[in-house]
Structure 1
Amino acid sequence: MFRILLTILCLLVTALPALASGGGEIQDLTGTVTGIFALILFVAAYVLVIMEEQLHLRKSKPVIVAAGIIWVLVALSYQALGKPDHAHGAILHNLTEYAELFLFLLAAMTYINALEERNAFRALRSWLVNKGYTLRTVFWLTGLLAFFISPVADNLTTALLMGAVAMAVGGNNTKFVVVACINIVVAANAGGAFSPFGDITTLMVWQKGKVQFFEFFSIFIPSVINWIIPAVCMSLAVSKEKPTVSDEAVSMKLGARRIMALFLLTIVTAVSFHNFLNLPPAVGMMLGLGYLSFFSYWLKTVEHRQLSGDNPLDMTGHQHASFDLFRKIAKAEWDTLLFFYGVILCVGGLGQFGYLAVTSNFMYNGLGHTTANVLVGLLSAVIDNIPVMFAVLTMDPQMSHGQWLLVTLTAGVGGSLLSIGSAAGVALMGSARGVYTFGAHLKWSWAIALGYAASIAAHLLLNGKYFTH
């Protein structure tokens, strides 16, 4: 209950006041009945999101409902002010934001699902388990791989993959599994912070044009520090014993390596679209999805198989042995994609009631840019970092490049402070249920906090040139 009340308070202070531009002049409606009701509605919806595990209610459902009702309130409020077209223009701006994010993630998720079907991740897991490394070596390897895989994949997929390796190696050694899972969460979040592809927040910052693609790598060293300090502390608690080696051997299916190459080509395409053509990266990602679609056709031809049914979008439950691109699309994280829709429209609707100016003034004028951006990271440990970062981007405070890099770093790694602060942590709590818990993670929060503080200090020291413009 205390965490829920704290979350509501944080939302009232920061994440709510958000969004949208593009619909004309925004009126101050924060004190109206509709404005207050919209705020309460979003808080209630987000409490249900936080209680997803307890209620077994998917997180997308409450925010989708709240988004629809909030925009009804926005439309009614502006109609009463004699501006019937205001809500239409404002919501189109938010829908454009969502469409870019949706298409980008859909293409990325489809590639990840294709690699999973081709046994790419299972083969990596099998290779690590069969090597016969000591527990301490596995601790460092899973953390290192999580750090370098998450910038290309995402922190959720990376955490689940490396977590499976740690649990397979650790077996009944709960002490090892706990520290290995914490290490993986911290590494995956830190690795995702210096890449536009590693986390939703970094993707949003990149698509908004606040930080260019190659500028993200300037926070590589702070990200390494964020992971390495708690990793060193936790490694002292890991023994050097050798676990039992598994006899399981998994090979990648035909085409796995070529799909990896196509994924890298897709990333290059998306970056080129953004940097050289000034086109949305999502368009480049969809072109990359086209690469995969033609490769899937070749793959089915080589395997001498045919789809069952006449319709490639057939979802009737027939068993398909061949590589079917549309089924990889169907296996995307639709709950997550719809959750983003709800969050973006909820926060965008609240922005139309006038919370933006008040919060922006409080955080970035009252507290100062550095303090406010450090606070964003701390809030990300309690609240999901997506609405927090989306609020910051829409408030669009006038900050130096160094401050935009700072908030990108803190929002990405701040979620590691608590197990509930990131998708990676929540996912591992589910897969290692009863072993990796909120309380177990909390015991090492002091070490993670040391890494968090050190990474901020490293950024301020190493990237001082970015704070001058």
Structure 2
Amino acid sequence: MPVVLQMVLIGMAVVALLGVVLEDVIHINKAKVTLFLGTISWLLLFVFHGNGADGEKVMEGFQENISEIAGLWLFLVSAMTFVAYLNKKGMIENLIYLFLPKRISERSLLFLTAIFCFVFSSLADNITATLVSVTLILSLNLSRKKTIRFATLVVFSVNSGGVALITGDVTTLMIFLAEKVSIIDLLLLSIPAFIAVLVLTCMQARGMNEMVEVQIHRTDVRKVDIAIAVVFLTTIIGTIIGNVLFNIPPVLTFLFGMSSMFLIARFFNEDIEADPILEYIRVIEFETLLFFLGILLLVGMLKEIDVLDSFVQLYEVLPPFAASYLMGILSAAIDNVPLTAALLKAGIVMSSADWLALTYAVGVGGSLLVIGSAAGIVAMSKVDGLTFGSYSRYSFALLISYTIGYAIVYYISSVVIS
């Protein structure tokens, strides 16, 4: 491959990364930047490799890349369609107010918020979990400083809750689909991840002594909404059982669950022209899906030009325990999706225990900076006063919590799996 072409392609990947980090500065959506550069990079590979043996190699690499992306996309579309429906019908909001009293102390509310974010993000995508949680916090009319403190906890809790299930975090799903860890192994992450959340909550609870009045708004729950919620939970449980017992791909189980949701709406005569059930596919976060598409195209291109070997070198210099810990911290500056994709494509050889530790690291490490995860970006766009600087005031507490969680993950995985 010509050196000039390789440098141009690497430059495109760097520009794409800068576009993600500086999205709020340049005011260009990161999905647009990554998708444009991801597609044009593959076009250049095809143009400069012609129809010979090199061209066939590029075609094989592209087809492998697209196959991986398609599986991830279909899974996310299915899961996000469920959540979009339940959120619009008020089921999620009702669930929150079911456990909230009308009057509660700020400290108790902080712990309840952490627990809700942790549990809910395991079932829903991080973006939805953050939006729901932040909306609740803003309705409480807290001071700006306390609102920022709550929002910081939301970001860390959402990212921590998502790492233990493939439905909760894209990087967890990516590592699972690459067959580096099993679903049973991933469930081990829930305990240390929750301990890390409790550690941060205790640190954030200092000075939270006032009482809060909660304005409770409940919506009517219909039988069809309850039925679809049951199908969603059944799909999640069925995905775990089906994969463990019969090695059924999660994407197949979730597509079956989504199709069941469509038929149930028709059975209850709720699939009407004014509110067609298929319409909920259109209201999911396609911006996020397009971002993943662009990023994964770029990472696939970098693998094709043999640039990902540098990631392997870090694991050759340091033991996996230390290297993965640093990767988690690095994911706070580099979006964890491209970082995880790059590590998977680099061909790193590690034990299941080491891959499990890496799953926690890249899933939670992005919480150290507000720009390091989708949850942080969403919270920053919704909470007035939550900026890179105001969030960074809690970076030390976040680092302590992340480090404690990582150490427990590594210990448990080493003992149980090894």
TM-score of Structure 1 vs Structure 2, range by shorter chain: over 0.9
Deviates more, 1:106-115 or 1:149-158: 149-158
Q: Which residue of structure 2 aligns with residue 21 of structure 1?
A: none
Paired with 2:336 and 2:400, the residues of 1 have a C-alpha distance of 20
What letter corresponds to residue 304 of structure 2 in structure 1? Q
Alignment of 1:29-428 (within 5 A): 29=1, 32-79=3-50, 82-127=53-98, 131-169=102-140, 171-239=141-209, 241-246=210-215, 248-299=217-268, 301=269, 306-307=272-273, 320=274, 322=275, 324-360=276-312, 362-428=313-379
- Residue 286 of structure 1: SS of its match in structure 2? helix
Asked if the contact 1:193–1:409 (Cα under 8 Å) also holds between the matched residues in 2, the reply is yes
Paired with 1:255 and 1:62, the residues of 2 have a C-alpha distance of 40
Asked if the contact 1:380–1:411 (Cα under 8 Å) also holds between the matched residues in 2, the reply is yes
- Residue 150 of structure 1: SS of its match in structure 2? helix
Asked if the contact 1:74–1:353 (Cα under 8 Å) also holds between the matched residues in 2, the reply is no
Q: CA deviation at 1:381?
A: 0.6
Identity %: 28
Q: CA deviation at 1:93?
A: 0.3
Q: CA deviation at 1:125?
A: 4.4
Paired with 1:197 and 1:276, the residues of 2 have a C-alpha distance of 18
Asked if the contact 1:403–1:467 (Cα under 8 Å) also holds between the matched residues in 2, the reply is no
TM-score (norm 1): 0.84
Paired with 1:279 and 1:342, the residues of 2 have a C-alpha distance of 28
Deviates more, 1:35-44 or 1:65-74: 65-74
Paired with 2:73 and 2:307, the residues of 1 have a C-alpha distance of 26
What letter corresponds to residue 149 of structure 1 in structure 2? F
Q: Which residue of structure 2 aligns with residue 3 of structure 1?
A: none
What letter corresponds to residue 445 of structure 1 in structure 2? S
Q: CA deviation at 1:72?
A: 2.1
Q: CA deviation at 1:465?
A: 2.8
CA distances 1:96-119 after superposition (whole Å, capped 9, x unpaired): 100100000000010001101211
Asked if the contact 2:196–2:404 (Cα under 8 Å) also holds between the matched residues in 1, the reply is yes
Unaligned 5+ runs, structure 1? 1-28, 308-319
Q: CA deviation at 1:370?
A: 1.6
Asked if the contact 1:186–1:227 (Cα under 8 Å) also holds between the matched residues in 2, the reply is yes
Paired with 2:284 and 2:145, the residues of 1 have a C-alpha distance of 33
Paired with 1:247 and 1:208, the residues of 2 have a C-alpha distance of 43
Q: CA deviation at 1:172?
A: 4.3
Query: How many corresponding residue pairs?
Result: 418
What letter corresponds to residue 405 of structure 1 in structure 2? L
Unaligned 5+ runs, structure 2? none
CA distances 1:401-443 after superposition (whole Å, capped 9, x unpaired): 1100110010111011111111111111111122x22222111
Distance of aligned partners of 1:294 and 1:211 in 2 relative to their CA distance in 1, 3 Å threshold: same
CA distances 1:67-121 after superposition (whole Å, capped 9, x unpaired): 1221123224443874221111110001110010000000001000110121112
Deviates more, 1:138-147 or 1:78-87: 78-87
Paired with 1:53 and 1:257, the residues of 2 have a C-alpha distance of 39
Alignment of 1:450-461 (within 5 A): 450-461=400-411
- Residue 133 of structure 1: SS of its match in structure 2? strand
What letter corresponds to residue 362 of structure 2 in structure 1? A
Deviates more, 1:204-213 or 1:76-85: 76-85
Distance of aligned partners of 1:245 and 1:387 in 2 relative to their CA distance in 1, 3 Å threshold: closer
CA distances 1:360-409 after superposition (whole Å, capped 9, x unpaired): 1x111122312211111011111110011111111231111110011001
Q: CA deviation at 1:273?
A: 4.3
Q: CA deviation at 1:254?
A: 4.1
Asked if the contact 1:189–1:413 (Cα under 8 Å) also holds between the matched residues in 2, the reply is yes
Distance of aligned partners of 1:273 and 1:93 in 2 relative to their CA distance in 1, 3 Å threshold: farther
CA RMSD after TM alignment: 2.0
TM-score (norm 2): 0.94
Asked if the contact 1:60–1:336 (Cα under 8 Å) also holds between the matched residues in 2, the reply is yes
CA distances 1:144-196 after superposition (whole Å, capped 9, x unpaired): 11111111112221122112112212x04222211111111111111111111
- Residue 381 of structure 1: SS of its match in structure 2? coil
